[in-house]
């Protein structure tokens, strides 16, 4: 498993529960140090007037994550239930929860460790994947110097935007447009909550304002009771620098919702009491995750060419795959809702177990969908 954020931790535990042994490799010095280091996030459904794949996935995923939270983490030690007032899209008051993603990541990794099926390798950046040339098949995972970091019959790339480089290195001759993943920087502004809250409950418009979040497990560099406003959404940016501009953008979003709270935000900024956190989301072109078996792009192109006028009838599920190689990325702004539900689907697929997920949702998540469309166009 490459990547120890929400995706890699959820997939590790889902596989460990099915009896797999996992070696989890991450470039960081421990779990949940990239996007999943977010101090607090919102778990709430994405509601649309008519159902879309994202709204259906989000409804299934929110319910699933709520079950996981209730099972694994006492309220107040990594999450808490709440309601959110949506002021713009999906207007109204919705049940929700505030969650520190790192608490879920750690809980899932502890569960996999307690099953005796998880080994971890930290400070190890994967630069390349190579097909094992022995009869046993599988994959070799190499660092920048070509040193072997691990080998396994099955490899899952749960490495957010870092997955793109690994995918491109698999078939340097293939069109990179088959992997339309991009980084999206986000900055959250926060501070210690002193005195009364600035709103009765979280509010959402172009950002989310959390008037109070209390968590006994927050890392010591954060106040244990805080307010938070976030987050900015900067497409294409992949740095994690907290900027004054990011704070100003959050202040503007807050002013549009709660002018009085925005005055307090400005006062905290002037008094140098504002804290900030920035991370990088990984988003796909259609805003849906990529979950499942990795297509063999070169074979896919040849397959489309050979199909000639019949290519319109080929289904994405039939696309040729790289055996033993899986992808779990592009959770976008919804990792809390989607990680565990998608991880369960992925684990069933890897296990070859029956899955009752509706076929159109499976197709909507298929990592081959972009390369499949592209090669269909190129073959016409
Ligand atoms: C500002 C901000 C606010 C957000 N708010 C919310 C919210 O309110 N609700 C919500 O649900 N989600 C929210 N999100 C999104 C959520 O944080 C992500 O969807 C989620 O954390 C993604 O998890 P992940 O495991 O895919 O990626 P990450 O947590 O980024 O983990 C990827 C891991 O892969 C490792 N890696 C990458 N490349 C390599 C490599 N080559 N070799 C080894 N290791 C590698 C990295 O070190 C990292 O640990 C927010 C994100 C941001 C930035």
Instruction: Evaluate the CA torsion angle 154, 155, 158, 160 in order and state its sign.
Output: negative
pLDDT in tens, 60-79: 999 999 999 999 999 999 99
Say if residue 65 is in the same domain as residue 52.
yes
Provide the mean pLDDT of the chain: 95
Ligand 1, residue 336: give the atom nearest the CA.
11
Asked if the model's pLDDT at residue 378 lies above 90, the reply is no
- Measured on CA atoms in the order 319, 322, 324, 330, is the torsion positive or negative? negative
- Our measurement of the distance from residue 104's CA atom to the centroid of its chain's CA atoms, rounded to an integer in Å, reads 13
| Maximum separation of any 2 CA atoms in the chain, in Å | 70
Check residue 132 and give its pLDDT.
87
3 phi, psi to nearest 5 deg: 115, 125
Residues 11 and 134 both lie in one domain: yes
For residue 192, the domain's CATH number is: 3.30.9.10
β-sheet bridge partners, residue 121: 25
Angle between the 244-257 and 259-270 helix axes, to the nearest 10 degrees? 160
Question: Predicted confidence band at 135 (pLDDT cuts at 50, 70, 90)?
Answer: low
Q: What pLDDT was estimated at residue 48?
A: 81
Same domain, 74 and 169: yes
Specify the 3-state DSSP secondary structure of 354.
coil
pLDDT (tens digit per residue) in 143-180: 999 999 999 999 999 999 999 999 999 988 889 999 99
Residue 155, phi then psi, degrees to nearest 5: -125, 135
Q: Mark whether 251 and 150 lie in a shared domain.
A: no
Residues 273 and 308 occupy one common structural domain: no
Residue 356 φ/ψ, nearest 5 degrees: -95, 15
pLDDT given for residue 46 in this prediction: 85
Residue 344 alpha carbon to ligand 1 centre in Å: 18
Do both 213 and 324 map to the same domain? no
Number of separate domains in the chain: 2
- Residues having CB within 6 Å of any atom of ligand 1: 2-8, 25-28, 33-36, 38, 41-42, 101, 125-126, 158-160, 162, 186, 188, 230-231, 279, 281, 329, 331-337
Please choose, from the candidates 182, 140, 179, the residue with its C-alpha nearest in 3D space to the C-alpha of residue 295: 179
Look at residues 280, 303, 327 and tell me which one is the last residue of a structural domain: 280
Hey, what are 83's tokens? 């309601």
160 shares a domain with 38: yes
**Which residue, of 280, 312, 329, is where some domain finishes?**
280
Residue 282 in this model has a pLDDT that exceeds 90: yes
Can you give the CATH number for the domain in which 305 is found? 3.50.50.60
Q: In this structure, are 7 and 144 located in the same domain?
A: yes
User: Are 135 and 274 in the same domain?
Assistant: no
Q: How many angstroms separate the alpha carbon of residue 243 from the centre of ligand 1? A: 20
Of the three residues 280, 299, 323, the one that is the final residue of a domain is 280
Same domain assignment for residues 69 and 172: yes
Do 326 and 228 share a structural domain? Answer: no
CA of 328 to the centre of ligand 1 (A): 11
Could you list the residue range(s) of the whole structural domain that residue 189 is in?
Answer: 182-280
pLDDT of residue 62: 97
Same domain, 159 and 304: yes
């Amino acid at each position: 498993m490459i990547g120890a954020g929400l995706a890699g931790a959820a997939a590790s535990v889902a596989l460990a529960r099915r009896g797999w042994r996992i070696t989890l490799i991450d470039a960081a010095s421990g779990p949940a140090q990239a996007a999943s280091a977010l101090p607090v996030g919102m778990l709430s459904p994405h509601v649309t007037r008519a159902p879309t794949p994202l709204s259906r996935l989000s409804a299934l995923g929110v319910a699933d994550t709520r079950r996981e939270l209730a099972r694994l983490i006492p309220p107040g030690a990594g999450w808490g239930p709440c309601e959110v007032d949506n002021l713009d899209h999906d207007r109204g008051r919705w049940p929700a929860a505030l969650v520190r993603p790192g608490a879920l990541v750690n809980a899932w990794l502890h569960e996999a460790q307690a099953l005796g099926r998880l080994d971890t390798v930290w400070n190890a950046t994967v630069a390349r994947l190579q097909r094992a040339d022995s009869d046993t098949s599988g994959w070799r995972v190499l660092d920048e110097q070509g040193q072997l970091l691990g080998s396994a019959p099955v490899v899952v790339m749960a490495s957010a935007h870092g997955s793109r480089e690994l995918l491109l290195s698999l078939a340097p001759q293939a069109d990179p447009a088959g992997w339309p993943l991009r980084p999206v920087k986000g900055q959250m502004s926060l501070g210690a909550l002193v005195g009364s809250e600035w709103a009765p409950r979280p509010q959402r418009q172009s950002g989310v304002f959390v008037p109070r979040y209390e968590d006994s497990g927050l890392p010591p560099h954060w106040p244990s009771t805080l307010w938070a406003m976030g987050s900015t959404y900067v497409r294409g940016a992949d740095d994690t620098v907290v900027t004054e501009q990011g704070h100003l953008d959050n202040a503007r979003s807050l002013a549009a919702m709660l002018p009085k709270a925005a005055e307090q935000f400005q006062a905290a900024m002037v008094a140098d009491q504002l804290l900030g956190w920035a991370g990088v989301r990984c988003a796909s072109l259609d805003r849906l995750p990529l979950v499942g078996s990795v297509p063999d792009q070169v074979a896919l192109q040849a397959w489309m060419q050979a199909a000639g006028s019949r290519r319109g009838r080929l289904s994405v599920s039939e696309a040729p795959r790289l055996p033993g190689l899986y992808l779990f990325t592009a959770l976008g702004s919804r990792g809390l809702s989607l990680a565990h539900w998608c991880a369960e689907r992925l684990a069933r697929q890897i296990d070859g177990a029956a899955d009752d997920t509706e076929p159109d949702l499976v197709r909507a998540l298929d990592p081959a969908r972009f390369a499949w469309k592209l090669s269909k166009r190129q073959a016409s």
